[in-house]
Structure 1
Amino acid sequence: MTSLTAHGICNAIGGQLVSGPFERVASGGVCTDSRALAPHAVFFALGGEKFDGNLFAPEASRTAAAVVVSRVEPGIDPSCAVILVEDTLAALQKLASWWRSNLKLTVVGLTGSNGKTSTKDLTTAVLSRKFRTVATEGNLNNHIGVPLSILKAEPDDEMAVWEMGMNHPGELAPLCGMARPHIGIITSIGTSHIEYMGSRDNIAREKCTVAECLPENGHMIFPADCDYADMIRQSTRAACIDCGIDSGTVRAENLVSTEDGTRFTLIIPDFCRETVELPVHGRHMVCNALLAAAAGWVAGLAKEQIVSGLNEAKLTGGRLHCKQSDGILVIDDTYNANPDSMQAALRTAAGLPCTGRRFAVLGRMGELGTFSAEGHALVGRTAEELHFDYVVSVGQDAAQITDAIPPGSATQALYLATPEEAAEWLRNHVAPGDIVLFKGSRAARMEQVMNLTFPPQ
């Protein structure tokens, strides 16, 4: 966000300046964490179940140009502009919406049950080959992260790739209202957050909010094999582009797993038939790359720009990152998990060349509700069907994964209660030539198991 005066911020969010100068200039961006404030930033004092941002406003006022609060605490620096509002989160979202209306960029709005952040990274890598592109940092994709992402955009940015997540009904509409995308991407419709959404049909309807918000001259991009493809098409006025392996308008053929990732032929009718060397493994990652390629195509990139963007893409950490440790291939897919992404990671690990044994080290999956037992069991059965040598479940609820593998199976199943126990067992059993996959939901902290077993160099 460019520089704004306290007066301008008040006008944009409907706030009241209760102290400090009207002409105070904020030039350091927007922040909701008083510990991470840049000089001359605007601090929004958000509230939550366990914290009250208003209490940190006095400390923030010594660095910030302005603080936006719902209650004025004593001790605020008199040189800092204090803007009073009824709801600081609503004020943050108003400022983002106002700022978005001042930007002339083209927006890609991206959602899905799996693959959002990887597809965001791939799409950004492609679009950056031609345009000045801004994107969601990490996975700041919720009701706080989206406005913060919008407010990071600058007037000379040409494209934006903004990730939008949800876990309750109705959460995508306000995000779409702020982002105002021209290009929509739905990466997948799975069972993530089914605890709160109730059913896949409800999840699909919520994801289709992105399709509904697109303009008539926009583009809606989605997987060709999605069983809700018809719902997506019927939800939008925009042109629809489906993508898939061996099917779809934008498709991949001739997939070959390489040491560094996946080679495939990218085909877009009457536009390109090019070889891509994607620097990441997995068929599902190829599908994500096709969504990114489609976005580049409709944005007007040359085929060479699309291919080079995919070839040189770098993904956010914890997503199928492979590394060697004393002759053992370690697959770090620890960022998050649900049954669909678990199965995709298992299939990827099972498809890699291996001279030793395959280990799956798996933690619990959250927000599955009544589907939890079935979802965890499905993962265990999938690992067995893929002939993993060992499946190690770690921590609370994860035993449901290994319980699904029957005694006497060729796949040996083991449950361990803590990261420390799991790491000790692994250190005593893995050997050069083995492949070890780590995956689980954020709360499972599988990166801790991985780092205890294979300390970072």
Structure 2
Amino acid sequence: MRTITVSQLAEILGTSVAAGSGEARVSSGVSTDTRTLPVGSAFFALRGERFDGHRFTDVALNAGATALVVDQWEGEAPENAGVVVVPDTLAALQRLAFWWRSQLDIPVIGITGSNGKTSTKDFAASILSRHFKVSATKGNLNNHIGVPLTVLSTAEDTGAAVWEMGMNHSGEIAPLCEIARPKFGIITNIGTAHIEYLGSREGIAEEKGMLARSLPSDGTLFLPAGCDFYEYFRQRTKAHVIPVGNGRGLIRAENLELGDGSSRFKLVIEGEAPADVLLPVAGRHMVTNALLAAGAAWKVGLSPEEIAAGLSATVLTGGRLRRIEWNGITLFDDTYNANPESMAAALETLADTPVVNGARRIAVLGRMAEQGEHAPAAHRRTGELAARRGITVIAVGDGAEEIAGAAENGRHFRDVESAAGWLSSACHPGDVVLFKGSRSAAIERVMNSAFPRP
């Protein structure tokens, strides 16, 4: 965000300066966290179930904030800073982001879906960065707070943006689309993540489909060719719809070869010369994510050769099927999160990974959150899939018992220490070990304990 005065900030937010200096300058964007607050920033005092930013206004001023956005103020006027009082600080943050997005003339790619948002974002950002300065979602800043912060961190000289849009409940995607105003949309898939709150895949599709509804008539929506909600989304968007897929779709992968931790394919875009891609990550589902990103980048204006180079240079965000070699044992760190579909994709990737001389494929799995009444069946299906694919299952923690029970020779450990101890003694060079579970399962603790790295 460009430099503005506190008076200008207040005007944008529809109010006036309540205390302090209206001439103080906001030169370092906005912050909601005093631990990382840059000097010269506007501090928005957000309220939540377990936090209240109003308790830290003095800390923000001492750290160098030049503006405070609060919903009440009774203190003295600060020196060299201004105070702006609003009815709702979160709504004010979103309003400021809406204003700043209107100042940016850039193509925006919006990404949502049950799985693969971050990997698809990483692919798209890597491609676009070969030609543009890119604003891309960092970490998990993809919700009602994260999207405004991402928009507000976008510099004026940015050439393109790739922004994730996540949700847990109905009604959350549409406001994010109003702020971000994407021209290009990607829906990675419709699974059962958050089904506890949305009730059915149809309910999830309706919520994710708000991205499709938000796209302009000259925009483009990209969907997997095998998406069973393809027609549903096509009927609900003014934008052109392009399918992508392995061996099918207007944008597709041909001659796919799954290697040892990588994938090779020929990128085919109708009407363009094909290009060879070496994708530095395993998994058929990752190929689909790469194709979705490739389609959006092509519509933004990049050539297949530029797209192929960008895909090959992608570095994925941590915890997304990151491959690690440890004393001859191959580890797949897919610990960022989990739901039934991403579990299945990770297990299929593990099953496709070659092993020799009797080495084993082992899946260390934790519970899948936000499944509600569907949880027992979802966990059983995961264990059954592992059994069919000849994978040894180690289930860890409360809620993961059903996985082990449905897997042949599955083991369940209550705690990190016992699971890590078993792995340390049982794994041998040549084995391939997958780690995956919902964030609350903290399966990375098992990995780090069993296979410590410098």
Could you tell me which of 404, 421, 431 is aligned with 1:402? 404
- Over residues 46-90 of structure 1, what are the superposed CA-to-partner deviations in whole Å (9 max), with x where a residue is unaligned? 001111111111110122011111122547743321111110000
Q: Counterpart amino acid of 1:223?
A: P
Q: Helix, strand or coil for the counterpart of 2:336?
A: coil
CA distance in 2, matches of 1:276, 1:115: 19
- The answer for the alignment partner of 1:424 in structure 2 is 421
- The answer for the alignment partner of 1:452 in structure 2 is 449
Q: Helix, strand or coil for the counterpart of 1:143?
A: coil
- The answer for the alignment partner of 2:323 in structure 1 is 322
Residue 336 (structure 1) shift: 0.3
- The answer for the alignment partner of 1:187 in structure 2 is 188
- The answer for the alignment partner of 1:31 in structure 2 is 31
Structure 2-normalised TM-score?
0.98
Residue 337 (structure 1) aligned with residue 338 (structure 2) = yes
Q: Is the 8 A contact 1:55 1:73 kept in 2?
A: no
Q: Helix, strand or coil for the counterpart of 1:35?
A: coil
Q: Counterpart amino acid of 1:66?
A: A
Q: Is the 8 A contact 2:267 2:304 kept in 1?
A: no
CA distance in 2, matches of 1:260, 1:185: 25
CA distance in 1, matches of 2:446, 2:15: 47
CA distance in 2, matches of 1:240, 1:256: 27
Q: Is the 8 A contact 2:110 2:186 kept in 1?
A: yes
Q: Is the 8 A contact 1:261 1:279 kept in 2?
A: yes
- The answer for the alignment partner of 2:152 in structure 1 is 151
Q: Is the 8 A contact 2:19 2:77 kept in 1?
A: no
Residue 376 (structure 1) shift: 0.7
CA distance in 2, matches of 1:76, 1:141: 35
Q: Is the 8 A contact 2:114 2:188 kept in 1?
A: yes
Structure 1-normalised TM-score?
0.97
Q: Is the 8 A contact 1:381 1:404 kept in 2?
A: yes
Q: Helix, strand or coil for the counterpart of 1:450?
A: helix
CA distance in 1, matches of 2:289, 2:324: 21
Q: Counterpart amino acid of 2:24?
A: R
- The answer for the alignment partner of 1:99 in structure 2 is 100
Residue 363 (structure 1) aligned with residue 360 (structure 2) = no
- The answer for the alignment partner of 1:18 in structure 2 is 18
Residue ranges of structure 2 left out of the alignment (5+ in a row): none
- The answer for the alignment partner of 1:292 in structure 2 is 293
Residue 139 (structure 1) shift: 2.0
Q: Counterpart amino acid of 1:421?
A: S
- The answer for the alignment partner of 2:236 in structure 1 is 235
- The answer for the alignment partner of 1:391 in structure 2 is 393
Residue 15 (structure 1) shift: 3.2
Q: Helix, strand or coil for the counterpart of 1:220?
A: strand
- The answer for the alignment partner of 1:439 in structure 2 is 436
Residue ranges of structure 1 left out of the alignment (5+ in a row): none
Residue 251 (structure 1) aligned with residue 252 (structure 2) = yes
Question: How do 1:59-98 residues align onto structure 2 when only pairs under 5 Å count?
Answer: 59-62=59-62, 63-72=64-73, 74=75, 77-98=78-99
Residue 269 (structure 1) shift: 1.4
Q: Counterpart amino acid of 2:260?
A: E
Q: 1:383 to 1:367 in 2, by over 3 A?
A: same
CA distance in 2, matches of 1:235, 1:24: 46
Residue 16 (structure 1) shift: 3.1
CA distance in 1, matches of 2:104, 2:442: 39
Q: Counterpart amino acid of 1:280?
A: V
Q: Is the 8 A contact 2:269 2:304 kept in 1?
A: no
Residue 456 (structure 1) shift: 2.1
- The answer for the alignment partner of 1:54 in structure 2 is 54
Residue 260 (structure 1) shift: 4.1
Over aligned residue pairs, what C-alpha RMSD do you find? 1.1
- The answer for the alignment partner of 2:348 in structure 1 is 347
Task: Determine what percentage of the aligned residue pairs are the same residue.
Answer: 50
Q: How many residues align?
A: 451
Q: Is the 8 A contact 1:334 1:438 kept in 2?
A: yes
